[in-house]
Amino acid sequence: MSRVGKSPVFFQKGVQVTLSPTNELIVKGAKSTQKVQLRSEIGAEIQEGKVQLICKVPEAAAHHGLYRALLQNAVTGVTTGWTKELMLNGVGYRASVSGKKLELNLGFSHPVSFPIPDGIEVKVDKQTKISITGADRSVVGQVAAQVRGFRPPEPYLGKGIKYSDEHIRRKAGKAAGK
């Protein structure tokens, strides 16, 4: 059995968790609604303020902790949401939001335009700090990774797009010859 899967998922009064007949947990909160599709071998007991996932067969123990973590992420997403912060480092690197598009100037000969998916909110501070917020943790992480992928940080000068908590290992430049 999974140690992670054994512990229940607690939720606040503003969150409503229901189990559909198709073994799908529906989490409704103030921010949005999230769905977690469970395997048929994993059940759920919904009680006042908590959900306990139950392994019906021993073969499903490998997925027990996974679905508990997915449910916890959904509960956190509908209550507080998920946020990823990106920083732009480089001369002339700028970001701005216009409508449902994120416009990036990253030193290319053309500006990069990224369409913002539904359910995701993007804010730009001081043209170099991008904040990506949403209820679904996987979508927030995927959007942040796609934006970072336009110009990943390089190890010599540190130019590029990096996560705010990411440390870039710097390399020494060429040694001067005789």
pLDDT digits (tens, 9 = 90+) for 72-85: 999 999 998 999 99
Which amino acid is it at 83?
T
Q: Give the per-residue pLDDT at 144.
A: 94
DSSP-derived secondary structure for 119-163: TEEEEEETTTEEEEEES-HHHHHHHHHHHHHTSPPPTTT--EEEE
Q: Give the per-residue pLDDT at 147.
A: 93
What's the whole-number average pLDDT of the chain?
89
pLDDT digits (tens, 9 = 90+) for 129-171: 999 999 999 999 999 999 999 999 999 988 999 999 988 898 8
Quote the DSSP letter at residue 54.
Answer: E
Cα–Cα distance, 143 to 136 (Å, whole number): 11
- Portion of the chain with pLDDT greater than 70, in percent: 98
Cα–Cα distance, 63 to 41 (Å, whole number): 9
Which one has a higher pLDDT value, 11 or 83? 83
The topology under which CATH files domain 82-163 is Outer Surface Protein A; domain 3 (3.90.930)
Is the model's pLDDT at 3 over the cut of 70? yes
Cα–Cα distance, 177 to 78 (Å, whole number): 59
Q: What is the token pair recorded at 159?
A: 């130019």
The topology under which CATH files domain 3-79 is Outer Surface Protein A; domain 3 (3.90.930)
Structural domain boundaries in the chain: 3-79, 82-163
pLDDT digits (tens, 9 = 90+) for 48-59: 888 888 888 888
Q: Are strands 42-47 and 112-115 parallel, antiparallel or unpaired?
A: unpaired
Q: What is the token pair recorded at 81?
A: 């949401």
> Which residues make Cβ contacts (< 8 Å) with residue 58, sequence separation at least 6?
none
pTM, whole model, 2 decimals?
0.85
- The count of residues in the chain is 178
Mean pLDDT of 102-123: 92
Helix (H) or strand (E) run with residue 91 in it: none
